[in-house]
Copies of this chain bind each other. A is one copy, B any other.
Amino acid sequence: MAEQYRIALDAMGGDHGLSVVVPAALEALKQYDDIALILVGDETQIQSLLAQHLAVAGNRLRIHHASQVVQMDEAPAVALKNKKDSSMRVAINLVKANEADAAVSAGNTGALMATARFVLKTLPGIDRPAICTILPSIKGHTHMLDLGANVDSEAEHLYQFALMGSELTKAIDDNPNPRVGLLNIGQEAIKGNEQVKAANALLQGSPLNYIGYVEGDDIYLGDVDVVVCDGFVGNVALKTSEGLAKMVSSHLKQEFTANLFRRFAALVALPVLKSFRRKFDPRRYNGASFLGLQGIVVKSHGGADSIAYANAIGMARTEIIKQVPQRIHKQLEHLHAQRIKA
Protein backbone atom coordinates (compact mmCIF):
# COMPACT_ATOMS: atom_id res chain seq x y z
CA MET A 1 0.00 0.00 0.00
CA ALA A 2 1.20 3.50 -0.85
CA GLU A 3 2.10 5.98 1.84
CA GLN A 4 -0.80 7.66 3.57
CA TYR A 5 -0.70 11.30 4.56
CA ARG A 6 -2.47 11.68 7.89
CA ILE A 7 -4.37 14.92 8.45
CA ALA A 8 -6.13 15.86 11.70
CA LEU A 9 -9.20 18.07 11.26
CA ASP A 10 -10.53 20.36 13.97
CA ALA A 11 -14.05 19.11 13.30
CA MET A 12 -15.78 21.62 15.60
CA GLY A 13 -14.00 24.78 14.37
CA GLY A 14 -15.31 27.50 12.06
CA ASP A 15 -18.62 29.30 11.67
CA HIS A 16 -20.34 26.08 10.61
CA GLY A 17 -18.36 23.41 12.51
CA LEU A 18 -19.25 19.79 11.83
CA SER A 19 -21.83 20.56 9.15
CA VAL A 20 -19.00 21.73 6.90
CA VAL A 21 -16.04 19.69 8.15
CA VAL A 22 -17.68 16.26 7.86
CA PRO A 23 -18.82 16.59 4.21
CA ALA A 24 -15.49 18.31 3.40
CA ALA A 25 -13.63 15.30 4.85
CA LEU A 26 -15.70 12.88 2.76
CA GLU A 27 -15.10 15.02 -0.34
CA ALA A 28 -11.34 15.18 0.28
CA LEU A 29 -11.14 11.40 0.77
CA LYS A 30 -12.71 11.02 -2.67
CA GLN A 31 -10.37 13.58 -4.24
CA TYR A 32 -7.13 12.24 -2.76
CA ASP A 33 -6.66 8.50 -2.39
CA ASP A 34 -3.40 8.91 -0.50
CA ILE A 35 -4.77 10.67 2.59
CA ALA A 36 -6.22 9.46 5.88
CA LEU A 37 -8.27 11.86 8.00
CA ILE A 38 -8.82 12.14 11.72
CA LEU A 39 -11.97 14.00 12.74
CA VAL A 40 -11.24 15.58 16.11
CA GLY A 41 -14.25 16.61 18.19
CA ASP A 42 -17.38 15.39 19.91
CA GLU A 43 -17.56 11.71 19.03
CA THR A 44 -21.36 11.35 19.32
CA GLN A 45 -22.04 14.38 17.15
CA ILE A 46 -19.48 13.29 14.57
CA GLN A 47 -20.95 9.76 14.41
CA SER A 48 -24.41 11.21 13.88
CA LEU A 49 -23.22 13.54 11.11
CA LEU A 50 -21.38 10.70 9.40
CA ALA A 51 -24.57 8.63 9.54
CA GLN A 52 -26.51 11.47 7.94
CA HIS A 53 -24.02 11.32 5.07
CA LEU A 54 -24.37 7.50 4.93
CA ALA A 55 -20.71 7.25 5.83
CA VAL A 56 -18.87 5.44 8.58
CA ALA A 57 -15.44 5.78 10.07
CA GLY A 58 -13.10 3.23 8.58
CA ASN A 59 -9.66 2.61 7.33
CA ARG A 60 -8.99 6.14 6.08
CA LEU A 61 -11.32 8.05 8.41
CA ARG A 62 -11.21 7.86 12.16
CA ILE A 63 -12.67 9.85 15.01
CA HIS A 64 -10.62 11.22 17.87
CA HIS A 65 -12.78 12.50 20.71
CA ALA A 66 -12.22 15.96 22.19
CA SER A 67 -14.64 17.38 24.76
CA GLN A 68 -14.19 21.14 24.31
CA VAL A 69 -14.64 23.73 21.56
CA VAL A 70 -12.77 27.03 21.17
CA GLN A 71 -15.28 29.78 20.42
CA MET A 72 -14.72 32.00 17.36
CA ASP A 73 -14.45 35.13 19.53
CA GLU A 74 -12.54 33.60 22.43
CA ALA A 75 -9.32 35.38 23.45
CA PRO A 76 -6.31 33.27 22.42
CA ALA A 77 -4.79 33.35 25.91
CA VAL A 78 -8.05 32.15 27.45
CA ALA A 79 -8.40 29.33 24.91
CA LEU A 80 -4.80 28.31 25.55
CA LYS A 81 -5.31 28.17 29.31
CA ASN A 82 -8.83 26.76 29.62
CA LYS A 83 -9.42 24.63 26.54
CA LYS A 84 -6.79 21.93 26.82
CA ASP A 85 -9.19 19.32 25.46
CA SER A 86 -10.56 21.43 22.63
CA SER A 87 -10.86 19.94 19.14
CA MET A 88 -8.35 22.56 17.97
CA ARG A 89 -5.77 21.78 20.62
CA VAL A 90 -6.12 18.03 20.31
CA ALA A 91 -5.77 18.16 16.52
CA ILE A 92 -2.47 20.02 16.96
CA ASN A 93 -1.40 17.63 19.74
CA LEU A 94 -1.79 14.78 17.23
CA VAL A 95 0.75 16.52 14.96
CA LYS A 96 3.10 17.02 17.88
CA ALA A 97 2.75 13.31 18.85
CA ASN A 98 3.40 12.32 15.24
CA GLU A 99 0.01 10.67 14.99
CA ALA A 100 -0.87 13.16 12.23
CA ASP A 101 1.31 14.86 9.58
CA ALA A 102 -0.74 18.07 9.53
CA ALA A 103 -3.69 19.78 11.20
CA VAL A 104 -6.45 21.81 9.53
CA SER A 105 -8.79 24.18 11.37
CA ALA A 106 -11.41 26.76 10.41
CA GLY A 107 -11.46 28.02 14.00
CA ASN A 108 -10.49 31.29 15.64
CA THR A 109 -7.24 32.39 13.93
CA GLY A 110 -5.66 33.98 16.98
CA ALA A 111 -6.31 30.95 19.17
CA LEU A 112 -5.13 28.57 16.44
CA MET A 113 -1.86 30.47 16.01
CA ALA A 114 -1.28 30.73 19.77
CA THR A 115 -2.01 27.03 20.26
CA ALA A 116 0.07 25.91 17.28
CA ARG A 117 2.98 28.00 18.48
CA PHE A 118 2.67 26.75 22.05
CA VAL A 119 2.36 23.07 21.17
CA LEU A 120 4.57 22.74 18.10
CA LYS A 121 7.10 25.53 18.77
CA THR A 122 8.77 27.62 16.09
CA LEU A 123 11.63 26.37 13.96
CA PRO A 124 15.09 27.36 15.24
CA GLY A 125 15.89 30.79 13.77
CA ILE A 126 12.24 31.84 13.42
CA ASP A 127 11.05 34.49 15.89
CA ARG A 128 7.46 34.64 14.72
CA PRO A 129 5.39 32.28 12.61
CA ALA A 130 3.48 33.91 9.75
CA ILE A 131 0.26 33.26 7.85
CA CYS A 132 0.64 32.87 4.10
CA THR A 133 -2.14 32.68 1.54
CA ILE A 134 -2.47 32.39 -2.22
CA LEU A 135 -4.27 35.09 -4.18
CA PRO A 136 -5.16 35.02 -7.89
CA SER A 137 -3.24 37.30 -10.25
CA ILE A 138 -3.54 38.24 -13.91
CA LYS A 139 -0.81 35.75 -14.77
CA GLY A 140 -1.46 33.01 -12.22
CA HIS A 141 -1.24 33.52 -8.50
CA THR A 142 0.73 35.27 -5.77
CA HIS A 143 1.70 34.16 -2.28
CA MET A 144 1.35 36.79 0.41
CA LEU A 145 2.50 36.87 4.03
CA ASP A 146 2.03 37.82 6.85
CA LEU A 147 -1.74 38.11 6.98
CA GLY A 148 -2.24 38.93 10.62
CA ALA A 149 -0.21 36.66 12.87
CA ASN A 150 2.10 39.58 13.68
CA VAL A 151 1.72 43.31 14.03
CA ASP A 152 4.61 45.76 14.38
CA SER A 153 6.97 43.41 12.53
CA GLU A 154 10.63 44.34 12.71
CA ALA A 155 12.96 44.18 9.70
CA GLU A 156 14.35 40.82 10.81
CA HIS A 157 10.82 39.39 10.98
CA LEU A 158 10.02 40.62 7.47
CA TYR A 159 13.25 39.01 6.32
CA GLN A 160 12.20 35.71 7.88
CA PHE A 161 8.75 35.96 6.26
CA ALA A 162 10.46 36.45 2.88
CA LEU A 163 12.57 33.39 3.39
CA MET A 164 9.60 31.25 4.46
CA GLY A 165 7.36 32.49 1.67
CA SER A 166 10.07 31.85 -0.90
CA GLU A 167 10.64 28.32 0.37
CA LEU A 168 6.89 27.55 0.40
CA THR A 169 6.57 28.80 -3.18
CA LYS A 170 9.56 26.77 -4.35
CA ALA A 171 7.99 23.69 -2.79
CA ILE A 172 4.38 23.92 -3.81
CA ASP A 173 4.66 25.70 -7.17
CA ASP A 174 7.79 23.85 -8.32
CA ASN A 175 9.19 27.30 -8.95
CA PRO A 176 12.98 27.15 -8.46
CA ASN A 177 13.52 30.89 -8.06
CA PRO A 178 10.43 32.76 -6.81
CA ARG A 179 10.46 36.53 -7.18
CA VAL A 180 10.11 38.08 -3.73
CA GLY A 181 8.80 41.64 -3.33
CA LEU A 182 8.53 43.79 -0.19
CA LEU A 183 5.23 45.66 0.09
CA ASN A 184 5.75 49.40 0.27
CA ILE A 185 3.89 52.54 -0.67
CA GLY A 186 6.12 53.63 -3.53
CA GLN A 187 8.83 52.19 -5.67
CA GLU A 188 11.08 55.10 -4.78
CA ALA A 189 13.60 54.26 -2.09
CA ILE A 190 12.70 57.39 -0.13
CA LYS A 191 9.21 56.25 0.82
CA GLY A 192 8.18 53.68 3.38
CA ASN A 193 8.56 53.29 7.09
CA GLU A 194 11.73 52.45 8.98
CA GLN A 195 11.06 48.72 9.32
CA VAL A 196 10.46 48.35 5.59
CA LYS A 197 13.60 50.28 4.68
CA ALA A 198 15.70 48.16 7.02
CA ALA A 199 14.11 44.94 5.71
CA ASN A 200 14.89 46.11 2.17
CA ALA A 201 18.58 46.36 3.08
CA LEU A 202 18.55 42.86 4.63
CA LEU A 203 16.81 41.36 1.60
CA GLN A 204 19.19 43.02 -0.86
CA GLY A 205 22.01 41.20 0.87
CA SER A 206 20.20 37.85 0.88
CA PRO A 207 20.44 34.95 -1.59
CA LEU A 208 16.69 35.23 -2.27
CA ASN A 209 15.49 36.37 -5.68
CA TYR A 210 14.55 39.73 -4.21
CA ILE A 211 13.05 42.13 -6.77
CA GLY A 212 12.68 45.12 -4.40
CA TYR A 213 9.65 47.10 -3.38
CA VAL A 214 6.22 46.30 -4.76
CA GLU A 215 2.95 48.16 -4.23
CA GLY A 216 -0.56 46.97 -3.38
CA ASP A 217 -1.61 46.62 -7.02
CA ASP A 218 1.30 44.29 -7.74
CA ILE A 219 -0.36 41.58 -5.64
CA TYR A 220 -2.80 41.05 -8.52
CA LEU A 221 -0.68 41.93 -11.55
CA GLY A 222 1.41 38.76 -11.64
CA ASP A 223 4.99 40.06 -11.76
CA VAL A 224 5.92 38.94 -8.27
CA ASP A 225 5.54 35.48 -6.69
CA VAL A 226 5.84 36.29 -2.99
CA VAL A 227 4.66 39.54 -1.41
CA VAL A 228 6.05 40.19 2.06
CA CYS A 229 4.50 42.57 4.58
CA ASP A 230 3.63 43.16 8.21
CA GLY A 231 0.55 41.27 9.38
CA PHE A 232 -1.49 44.40 10.00
CA VAL A 233 -0.90 45.62 6.46
CA GLY A 234 -1.41 42.19 4.90
CA ASN A 235 -4.64 41.61 6.77
CA VAL A 236 -6.01 45.00 5.68
CA ALA A 237 -5.02 44.29 2.05
CA LEU A 238 -6.74 40.89 2.14
CA LYS A 239 -9.91 42.14 3.83
CA THR A 240 -10.07 45.17 1.53
CA SER A 241 -9.94 42.81 -1.43
CA GLU A 242 -12.75 40.73 0.07
CA GLY A 243 -14.86 43.86 0.55
CA LEU A 244 -14.29 45.06 -3.00
CA ALA A 245 -15.16 41.62 -4.39
CA LYS A 246 -18.35 41.54 -2.31
CA MET A 247 -19.37 44.99 -3.55
CA VAL A 248 -18.73 44.07 -7.17
CA SER A 249 -20.63 40.80 -7.00
CA SER A 250 -23.52 42.41 -5.12
CA HIS A 251 -23.72 45.07 -7.83
CA LEU A 252 -23.54 42.54 -10.68
CA LYS A 253 -26.27 40.43 -9.10
CA GLN A 254 -28.50 43.46 -8.69
CA GLU A 255 -27.91 44.61 -12.26
CA PHE A 256 -28.39 41.21 -13.84
CA THR A 257 -31.73 40.69 -12.09
CA ALA A 258 -33.13 44.23 -12.44
CA ASN A 259 -35.67 43.30 -15.15
CA LEU A 260 -36.57 40.59 -17.64
CA PHE A 261 -34.15 41.76 -20.31
CA ARG A 262 -31.35 41.82 -17.78
CA ARG A 263 -32.20 38.26 -16.76
CA PHE A 264 -31.92 37.24 -20.39
CA ALA A 265 -28.61 39.07 -20.61
CA ALA A 266 -27.41 37.14 -17.58
CA LEU A 267 -28.33 33.90 -19.32
CA VAL A 268 -26.38 34.85 -22.43
CA ALA A 269 -23.44 36.03 -20.37
CA LEU A 270 -23.53 32.89 -18.25
CA PRO A 271 -20.42 31.23 -19.73
CA VAL A 272 -18.44 34.39 -19.01
CA LEU A 273 -19.82 34.73 -15.51
CA LYS A 274 -19.07 31.07 -14.85
CA SER A 275 -15.51 31.28 -16.10
CA PHE A 276 -15.16 34.43 -14.02
CA ARG A 277 -16.39 32.69 -10.91
CA ARG A 278 -14.18 29.69 -11.62
CA LYS A 279 -11.08 31.84 -11.86
CA PHE A 280 -11.74 34.09 -8.89
CA ASP A 281 -13.76 31.80 -6.63
CA PRO A 282 -12.23 32.44 -3.18
CA ARG A 283 -12.94 28.78 -2.36
CA ARG A 284 -10.17 27.80 -4.78
CA TYR A 285 -7.71 29.79 -2.71
CA ASN A 286 -8.89 28.61 0.69
CA GLY A 287 -6.23 27.25 3.03
CA ALA A 288 -3.68 29.60 4.56
CA SER A 289 -0.36 28.11 5.65
CA PHE A 290 1.04 28.77 9.12
CA LEU A 291 4.76 28.96 8.38
CA GLY A 292 7.71 28.82 10.75
CA LEU A 293 6.37 26.05 13.01
CA GLN A 294 7.75 22.59 13.68
CA GLY A 295 4.76 21.04 11.97
CA ILE A 296 2.09 21.77 9.39
CA VAL A 297 -1.02 23.74 10.30
CA VAL A 298 -3.46 25.02 7.68
CA LYS A 299 -6.16 27.58 8.44
CA SER A 300 -9.42 27.35 6.54
CA HIS A 301 -11.57 30.49 6.29
CA GLY A 302 -14.06 30.53 9.17
CA GLY A 303 -17.01 30.84 6.78
CA ALA A 304 -15.71 28.25 4.29
CA ASP A 305 -18.13 25.74 2.80
CA SER A 306 -17.24 22.08 2.30
CA ILE A 307 -15.70 22.63 -1.17
CA ALA A 308 -13.47 25.38 0.18
CA TYR A 309 -12.60 23.32 3.25
CA ALA A 310 -11.64 20.36 1.06
CA ASN A 311 -9.18 22.69 -0.71
CA ALA A 312 -7.62 23.54 2.66
CA ILE A 313 -7.18 19.80 3.25
CA GLY A 314 -5.56 19.61 -0.20
CA MET A 315 -3.14 22.37 0.81
CA ALA A 316 -2.18 20.45 3.97
CA ARG A 317 -1.58 17.33 1.85
CA THR A 318 0.68 19.27 -0.54
CA GLU A 319 2.69 20.69 2.35
CA ILE A 320 3.17 17.19 3.76
CA ILE A 321 4.28 15.78 0.40
CA LYS A 322 6.63 18.71 -0.20
CA GLN A 323 7.93 18.64 3.38
CA VAL A 324 7.55 22.39 3.77
CA PRO A 325 8.69 22.75 7.42
CA GLN A 326 11.76 20.59 6.76
CA ARG A 327 12.66 22.69 3.71
CA ILE A 328 12.31 25.93 5.64
CA HIS A 329 14.44 24.48 8.42
CA LYS A 330 17.16 23.43 5.99
CA GLN A 331 17.15 26.81 4.27
CA LEU A 332 17.44 28.58 7.64
CA GLU A 333 20.44 26.46 8.59
CA HIS A 334 22.03 27.15 5.23
CA LEU A 335 21.57 30.92 5.59
CA HIS A 336 22.76 30.85 9.16
CA ALA A 337 25.97 29.12 8.06
CA GLN A 338 26.42 31.73 5.33
CA ARG A 339 25.89 34.59 7.79
CA ILE A 340 28.52 33.13 10.13
CA LYS A 341 31.00 32.81 7.27
CA ALA A 342 30.31 36.39 6.10
Binding site for B on A (CB under 8 A): 73, 75-76, 110, 136-138, 148, 151-152, 183, 185-186, 188, 190-194, 215-221, 229, 231-233, 235-248, 250-252, 255-256, 261-262, 264-266, 268-269, 271-272, 275-276, 279-280
Q: 7 other contacts beyond A217-B246, A265-B268, with CB at 8 A cut-off? A: A152-B194, A219-B243, A220-B243, A221-B243, A221-B246, A233-B233, A256-B272
Complex formed: what's the CA distance from A96 to B272 in Å?
Answer: 54
Quick one: which of B240, B276, B279 contacts A216, CB cutoff 8 A? B240
A-B contacts, 7 listed (Cβ < 8 Å): A151-B191, A185-B232, A219-B240, A255-B275, A261-B271, A262-B272, A268-B269
A183 pairs with B236, CB closer than 8 A: yes
Complex formed: what's the CA distance from A205 to B65 in Å?
Answer: 48
A247 pairs with B138, CB closer than 8 A: yes
Quick one: which of B110, B216, B238, B252 contacts A238, CB cutoff 8 A? B216
Given the interface pairs A216-B243, A217-B246, A244-B245, the reply to whether A255 lies near B233 with Cβ below 8 Å is: no
B193 pairs with A151, CB closer than 8 A: yes
Task: Specify which chain B residues have a CB less than 8 angstroms from the CB of A232 in the assembled complex.
Answer: 185, 192-193, 233
Task: Specify which chain B residues have a CB less than 8 angstroms from the CB of A217 in the assembled complex.
Answer: 239-240, 242-243, 246
Task: Specify which chain B residues have a CB less than 8 angstroms from the CB of A238 in the assembled complex.
Answer: 216
A240 pairs with B243, CB closer than 8 A: no
Complex formed: what's the CA distance from A217 to B246 in Å?
Answer: 8
Task: Specify which chain B residues have a CB less than 8 angstroms from the CB of A233 in the assembled complex.
Answer: 232-233, 236
Task: Specify which chain B residues have a CB less than 8 angstroms from the CB of A185 in the assembled complex.
Answer: 148, 151, 231-232, 235-236, 239
Q: Which of A148, A232, A245, A255 has the most CB of B within 10 A?
A: A232
B271 pairs with A265, CB closer than 8 A: yes
Task: Specify which chain B residues have a CB less than 8 angstroms from the CB of A245 in the assembled complex.
Answer: 244
Task: Specify which chain B residues have a CB less than 8 angstroms from the CB of A76 in the assembled complex.
Answer: 190
Closest chain B CB from A225 CB (angstroms): 15
Q: Which residue of B lies closest to A235 (CB)?
A: B185
A218 pairs with B236, CB closer than 8 A: no
A276 pairs with B247, CB closer than 8 A: no
Quick one: which of B110, B183, B251, B256 contacts A279, CB cutoff 8 A? B251
Task: Specify which chain B residues have a CB less than 8 angstroms from the CB of A231 in the assembled complex.
Answer: 185
Closest chain B CB from A127 CB (angstroms): 17
A247 pairs with B152, CB closer than 8 A: no
Q: Which residue of B lies closest to A183 (CB)?
A: B236
Quick one: which of B151, B192, B271 contacts A151, CB cutoff 8 A? B192
Complex formed: what's the CA distance from A128 to B308 in Å?
Answer: 44
Complex formed: what's the CA distance from A264 to B270 in Å?
Answer: 12
